């Protein structure tokens, strides 16, 4: 009876462990040759453009970088598509799109140590964010790339303007016990969110000229919040 119970427990452990480690290539989307992959519809040009036909880049950083994915022990070359808000990676020379689910909610780039996490922020920017500070209060950064369509010349004296990708200014979020603070604006907003720390924050802001559009200043602020 003991042997049977031990066998059952062992099989349950193996089963649970297998479910916790998902295979990247079997769970991800493999783009087919006829799919619209790495392409953008250009109404002004009247056709679909490949990324190579568009000035600039929809990607964060330069090319693929080896990444580790939560939910699996596998690693793979990956890159973040800021335009589509997708993680692209390769496995055995095949391109894949990482599914947007809880199984793969955290991606760590091993060379740069940058971390992407998938967040539901309750607005149009829900998706992948760079995790800058982790803790009871966390700081995240959203980066996006915008497609600017081609503009044909209106007359013989003008020139065509090529389609392009433009990287937008990052948007920062502070995640607190009371929810997200999107694009923190000023000292008053922070103090109102943390009334118990009003005195400490007042002193902190007097001693530190925090600029709310500067990443390093926001990091300093969130580190301070986590210590108080």
3-state SS record for 33-91: CCCCCCEEEECCCCEEEEHHHCECCCECCCCCEEEEECCCCCEEEEEEECCCCEEEEEE
Q: Are 222 and 136 in contact (CB under 8 A)?
A: no
Q: How far apart are CA 63 and CA 51, in angstroms?
A: 13
Structure confidence by residue, pLDDT tens digits, 154-195: 777 767 889 999 999 999 999 999 999 999 999 999 999 999
Structure confidence by residue, pLDDT tens digits, 6-40: 443 333 333 333 334 457 767 677 776 556 789 99
Q: Where are the domains of the chain?
A: 23-183
Q: Inform me whether the pLDDT recorded for 199 exceeds 80.
A: yes
pLDDT reported for residue 160: 83
Q: How far apart are CA 116 and CA 150, in angstroms?
A: 31
Q: How far apart are CA 91 and CA 28, in angstroms?
A: 10
Q: Inform me whether the pLDDT recorded for 215 exceeds 50.
A: yes
Mean pLDDT over 54-62 rounds to 95
Q: What percent of the chain has pLDDT above 90?
A: 70
Q: Dihedral of the CA atoms 84, 67, 173, 127 (nearest 10)?
A: 30
* Backbone angles phi and psi of 221, in degrees to 5: -65, -50
């Amino acid at each position: 009876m003991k042997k049977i119970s031990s066998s059952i427990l062992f099989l349950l452990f193996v089963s649970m462990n297998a479910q916790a480690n998902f295979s990247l290539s079997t769970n991800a989307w493999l783009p087919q040759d006829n799919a619209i992959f790495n392409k953008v519809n250009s109404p002004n040009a009247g056709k679909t453009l490949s990324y190579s036909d568009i000035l600039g880049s929809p990607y964060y950083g330069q090319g693929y970088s080896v990444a580790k994915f939560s939910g699996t022990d596998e690693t793979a070359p990956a890159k973040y598509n800021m335009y589509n808000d997708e993680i692209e990676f390769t496995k055995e020379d095949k391109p894949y799109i990482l599914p947007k689910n809880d199984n793969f909610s955290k991606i760590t780039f091993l060379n740069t140590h940058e971390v992407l996490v998938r967040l539901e922020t309750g607005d149009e920017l829900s998706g992948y964010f760079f995790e800058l500070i982790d803790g009871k209060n966390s700081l995240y950064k959203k980066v996006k790339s915008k497609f600017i369509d081609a503009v044909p010349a209106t007359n013989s004296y003008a020139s065509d303007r090529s389609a392009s990708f433009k990287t937008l200014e990052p948007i920062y979020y502070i995640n607190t016990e009371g929810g997200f603070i999107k694009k923190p604006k000023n000292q008053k907003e922070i103090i109102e969110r943390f009334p118990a720390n009003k005195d400490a924050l007042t002193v902190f802001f007097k001693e530190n000229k925090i600029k709310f559009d500067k990443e390093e200043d926001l990091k300093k602020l969130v580190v301070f919040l986590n210590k108080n």
